[in-house]
């Protein structure tokens, strides 16, 4: 659980989509999902994982989602290689600022990427 800087409201990350949501500090079990539909999807994914005998570390995702993630990682790797090369040649504040913006541009696409698996192997929760 983290505190948001703006309002110091305790925030958690949804176990399904990874989005942040306000933590419920009331009675009962702490929330693990930002929406009821995500709780339902997680339940269905666990049931599908059991049916396919997936282990605790196994996750099924669509091929297109995996390709999107691999493309995003490749862009970041390429940007880091560019930055390493550029900063080895010139090391000044402007170069560092340009390198930061280049890396930011490569990583910005990850902001909207959400991984919603089809099945997730059962893991022990504390």
Q: pLDDT by residue (tens digit) across 93-108?
A: 999 999 999 999 999 9
Report the sign of the C-alpha dihedral through residues 96, 101, 106, 108, in that order: positive
Residues listed for the chain: 126
pLDDT for 4 equals 46
CB neighbour burial string for 55-91, b if at least 16 within 10 angstroms, e if fewer: eeeeeebeeeeeebeeebeebeeebeeebeeeeeeee
Tens of pLDDT, residue by residue over 29-75, are: 889 999 999 999 999 998 999 998 988 888 888 999 999 999 999 99
What pLDDT, on a 0 to 100 scale, did the predictor assign at position 7?
55
Residue 71's φ and ψ, nearest 5 degrees, are: -65, -45
Q: Is the pLDDT of residue 2 over 80?
A: no
């Amino acid at each position: 659980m983290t505190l948001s800087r703006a309002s110091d409201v305790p925030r958690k990350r949804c176990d399904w989509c990874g989005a942040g949501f306000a933590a419920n500090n009331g009675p009962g079990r702490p929330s693990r999902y930002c929406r009821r539909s995500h709780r339902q999807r997680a339940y269905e994914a666990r049931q599908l994982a059991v049916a396919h005998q997936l282990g605790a570390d196994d996750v099924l995702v669509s091929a297109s989602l995996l390709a999107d993630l691999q493309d995003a990682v490749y862009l970041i790797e390429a940007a880091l290689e560019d930055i390493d090369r550029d900063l080895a040649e010139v090391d000044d504040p402007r170069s560092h600022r340009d390198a930061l913006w280049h890396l930011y541009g490569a990583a910005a696409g990850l902001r909207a990427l959400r991984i919603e698996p089809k099945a997730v192997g059962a893991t022990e929760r504390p």
